[in-house]
Amino acid sequence: MTRGIARHGRRGTLVIAAVVLAGAATVATLPATAATRPSGTVRVLSAGSWSNVMVLLGAAFTHDTGYRLVNTSMGSSAIAHGVTSQTLQGDVFISASTGDDRSLEGAAHGRWIDGYTDVGTSPVVLAYYRGSRFAAALRRRPWYDVVSAAGFELGRTDPAVDPGGVLDLDALRGLGYAYDMPSLLALARVTRDVYTEQAIPGLLQAGQLDAAFMYAVSADAAQLPYVALTGTRNLNAHFTVALLRGAPDPGAAAAFLHWLFTRAATSLLVRRGVVPVAPRFVPAPT
């Protein structure tokens, strides 16, 4: 990250916190006049669970600031790998796991970010197809009693590229071992039920899956019903945002970082299933 962007990352967090606490709007988020309307483009690399949300955020961001937004969504781990291997380039990284942020920090990892700011959380849930023959059972009974039924098509993501996939396995293995349920452990070993985070909502809407593990934010955005993962604890996405070193458009990136913590953006995220947290900046270790 250039020194200018690095300084913005640390000072910007204080500005963001002040904006949130005061409930005021920054200059970057005021509707621009024709004479002052910016023309830059922020390129966001976002966690796959935000793919639908980013469509709404992008439209609102452009309306409020004049900047354009181009989004690429995939698993956070895959994004982090793409950044370090220089096969992906962007201005801003929205991650679903602080572990993926840390994989971009420090000299050993290329100093791609110099820290991250907390955005919010969202629990892992079991979203289901409304027309599934198992839908009624999922609404009445614990999820772990239903997903191992004969003929049940369960979807999850790949833990190698998506931190949500790690949590999916935690749910299956945690209850499988705790309650001696071999059927859940067997599901954790099956690989044919692994799909990309972006594909799962469509597969559920089309009825090709009976249910799938998703973050609530992704299920809400796709208007899918879901049930809580009864019996599990602390299975949540931890969403963060960070400026990437060498951002092609640092001005647009700075505007987006500020705008993301305004009332308008926060309200949109809350409606889509994100639980907001105080915007705390966590600097990279020195």
117 and 139, same domain (yes or no) = no
- Tens-digit pLDDT profile for residues 65-84: 999 999 999 999 999 999 99
118 and 245, same domain (yes or no) = yes
24 and 159, same domain (yes or no) = no
131 and 116, same domain (yes or no) = no
Reported confidence tier of residue 197, pLDDT bands at 50, 70, 90: confident
85 and 223, same domain (yes or no) = no
88 and 113, same domain (yes or no) = yes
199 and 57, same domain (yes or no) = no
CA dist 47 to 25, 156, 240, 285, Å? Answer: 26, 15, 10, 23
Reported confidence tier of residue 252, pLDDT bands at 50, 70, 90: very high
Task: Please give the mean pLDDT across all residues of the chain.
Answer: 87
130 and 211, same domain (yes or no) = yes
Out of 12-16, 164-168, 203-207, least confident range: 12-16
Asked whether the predicted pLDDT for residue 153 surpasses 90, the reply is yes
Specify the pLDDT at position 221.
84
Number of domains composing the chain: 2
245 and 115, same domain (yes or no) = yes
Asked whether the predicted pLDDT for residue 30 surpasses 50, the reply is no
Asked whether the predicted pLDDT for residue 6 surpasses 70, the reply is no
Domain containing residue 176: CATH number? 3.40.190.10
100 and 166, same domain (yes or no) = no
The structure's pTM equals 0.79
269 and 204, same domain (yes or no) = no
Please say which residue of 228, 250, 269 terminates a domain. 228
Q: How far apart (Å, rounded) are the C-alpha atoms in residues 254 and 130?
A: 41
Q: Which domain holds residue 129?
A: 123-228
DSSP of 167-215: HHHHHHHHHHHHTT-HHHHHHHH--TTEE-TTTHHHHHHTTS-SEEEEE
112 and 212, same domain (yes or no) = no
Give the torsion sign (CA, 248, 245, 79, 64). Answer: negative
